[in-house]
């Protein structure tokens, strides 16, 4: 699918300003959308919105379908009469440029519990009807997810393969007994999802009303300790006791000499195909409802994936195994129609990966930070682009442009200066300008680069688990961003849309 010539910003909702330790879907999110409009941008790209597990990574989630309830805005709950001004005031945390997940979760859990109890106590018939409709519309995943989280809490957050055996095996009698004993927790988790999706759809509606296209992100793999694997073990490479047998990763690359051992259980593609890829169709259907387009993370894994024995300590001793390829996407297209997908085609890309991408006209990704490590034939240099692609200075996995340039080898710095004909003092603007002026249909930039922030504000360092996903900005930082320069570059590069 071809996308219109456009420009946008990559920033996750956790990065928005708020009074509760981390960003949410409230006023800070709307203010950011207004910033996009003010600067003539038309795309907002986010990371996965699913509930995060260990390390607060949006790519390690308890569910491929559920929403991260910690993004629920307490202020919006108060406007619905579910929280008082005094309760909000007591939950406020210091404003910083680092997400304080520990304290944010603590104060928000208390607020959400209170709001949930008030909702169930005072819900009108219309509200109850909307809740029932939500449950019916999301029946393919909602009950399993809420039950999974209740079980997780009851077992001190231990992985599902370490629970009581009868629950691990999902024996019907054990499931029914647990439901009766934990009905309040299950109702609470249901309300959290109901409220998250209400707030998200309201925010997306606001963005779309301003002609902002929202791009989501779908990780190819799911976490082992997730409702998906627990509820559908036959779709994954786990044994009869729930232990992982084969796991995902990537071989040694730019980011790591030993590769990356992600640890996600691989898919049992044969069983998925026998079921006509129903689980994947349900997943993509929801994503196309939540977003206007989606970036498919690790797209090459659909053509061939790096298979590692679960006993290995790193990803070196793995092997490439053929994925579902055209068969999967033909099935999804037959069921859902046009596929507004961006293919994350980075890493070890083969002709067969390129063919899979191009046969469906999925735009690939170009990263300018990768452009200066070799000669003029480097595929990440703008003069080598095709139109149907998305250009970034860097992604959430890269350093900021300022940080990248400062730490790059002197030869790469020299090539960057030569290519941009600059002294390197404003390398962030130089790369933004070259990306804007390229033939790429879409140009998307991390907000940190518009703000010229250094490595301290990097979102993620692949292969590490500490101090990631913490970037936040203040209202002053957004207001201080050079809006006029962004508008100018969008104007001269013909990326302004009509509103």
Burial class (CB in 10 A: 0-12, 13-18, 19+), 262: buried
> What phi-psi label fits residue 56: left (phi over 0), alpha (psi between -120 and 50 degrees) or beta?
left
Burial of residue 140 (number of CB atoms within 10 Å: 0-12, 13-18, 19+): middle
> Where are any strands of DSSP class E within 147-224?
213-218
Q: Which of 228, 344, 345, 412 is catalytic?
A: 344
Q: Which tokens hold the place of 22?
A: 């981390």
Q: 24, 40, 297, 399: which is the annotated catalytic residue? A: 297
Q: List b or e across 415-436, with b for residues whose CB sees 16 or more CB atoms inside 10 angstroms.
A: bbbebbeeeeeebbbbbbbbbb
> Is residue 87 flagged as an active site residue?
no
Distance CA 394, CA 472 (A): 17
Measured distance CA(40)–CA(488) in Å, rounded: 9
Strands of the sheet containing 304-309, edge to edge, are: 260-265, 246-250, 304-309, 318-322
Q: Is 297 marked active-site?
A: yes
| Catalytic-residue membership of 482 | no
Q: Tell me which DSSP letter residue 226 carries.
A: S
Structure tokens at 474: 């203040």
In this structure, the strands spanning 304-309 and 442-446 are unpaired
Token pair recorded at residue 335: 């069921």
Distance (Å, whole) CA 375 – CA 489: 27
**What is the 8-class DSSP label of residue 399?**
P
416: tokens are 């960057």
Task: Say which of 397, 399, 441, 449 is annotated catalytic.
Answer: 397
Asked whether the beta carbons of 477 and 95 are under 8 A apart, the reply is no
* Residues acting as catalytic residues: 297, 344, 397
């Amino acid at each position: 699918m071809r996308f219109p010539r456009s420009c946008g910003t990559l920033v996750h909702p956790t990065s928005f300003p708020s009074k509760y330790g981390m960003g949410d879907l409230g006023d800070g999110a709307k203010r950011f959308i207004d910033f996009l409009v003010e600067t003539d941008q038309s795309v907002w790209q986010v990371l996965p919105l699913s509930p995060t597990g260990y390390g607060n990574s949006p790519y390690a989630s308890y569910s491929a379908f559920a929403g991260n309830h910690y993004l629920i805005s307490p202020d919006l709950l108060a406007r619905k009469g579910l929280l008082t001004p005094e309760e909000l005031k007591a939950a406020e945390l210091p404003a910083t440029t680092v997400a304080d997940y520990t304290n944010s979760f603590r104060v928000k859990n208390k607020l959400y519990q209170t709001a949930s109890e008030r909702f169930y106590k005072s819900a009108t018939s219309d509200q109850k009807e909307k809740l029932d409709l939500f449950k019916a519309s999301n029946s393919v995943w909602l009950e399993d997810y809420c039950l999974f989280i209740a079980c997780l809490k009851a077992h001190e957050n231990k992985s599902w393969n370490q629970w009581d055996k009868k629950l691990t095996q999902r024996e019907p009698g054990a499931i029914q007994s647990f439901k009766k004993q934990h009905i309040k927790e299950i109702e609470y988790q249901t309300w959290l999802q109901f409220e998250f999706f209400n707030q998200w759809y309201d925010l997306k509606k606001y963005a779309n009303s301003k002609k902002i296209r929202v791009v989501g992100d779908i990780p190819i793999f799911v976490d082992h300790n997730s409702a998906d694997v627990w509820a559908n073990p036959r779709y994954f490479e786990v044994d009869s006791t729930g232990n992982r047998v084969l796991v995902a990763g990537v071989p040694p690359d730019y980011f790591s000499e030993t590769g990356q051992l992600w640890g996600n259980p691989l898919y049992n593609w044969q069983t998925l195909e026998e079921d006509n890829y129903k689980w994947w169709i349900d997943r993509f259907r929801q994503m196309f409802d939540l977003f206007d387009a989606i970036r498919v993370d690790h797209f090459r894994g659909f053509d061939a994936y790096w298979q590692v024995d679960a006993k290995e300590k790193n990803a070196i001793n793995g092997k490439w195994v053929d994925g579902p390829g055209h068969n999967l996407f033909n099935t999804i297209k037959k069921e859902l129609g046009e596929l507004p997908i961006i293919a994350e085609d980075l890493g070890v890309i083969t002709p067969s990966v390129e063919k899979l991408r191009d046969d469906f006209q999925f735009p690939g990704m170009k990263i300018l930070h990768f452009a200066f490590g070799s000669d003029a034939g480097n595929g990440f240099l703008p003069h080598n682009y095709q139109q149907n692609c998305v250009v970034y200075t860097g992604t959430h996995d890269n350093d900021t442009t300022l940080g990248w340039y400062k730490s790059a080898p002197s030869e790469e710095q020299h090539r960057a200066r030569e290519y941009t004909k600059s002294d390197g003092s404003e390398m962030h603007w130089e790369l933004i300008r070259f990306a804007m002026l390229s033939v790429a249909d879409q140009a998307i930039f991390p907000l940190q680069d518009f703000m010229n922030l250094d490595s301290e504000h990097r979102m993620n360092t692949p292969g590490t688990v500490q101090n990631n996903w913490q970037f936040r900005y203040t209202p002053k930082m957004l207001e201080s961003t050079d809006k006029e320069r962004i508008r100018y570059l969008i104007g001269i590069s013909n990326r302004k849309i009509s509103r």
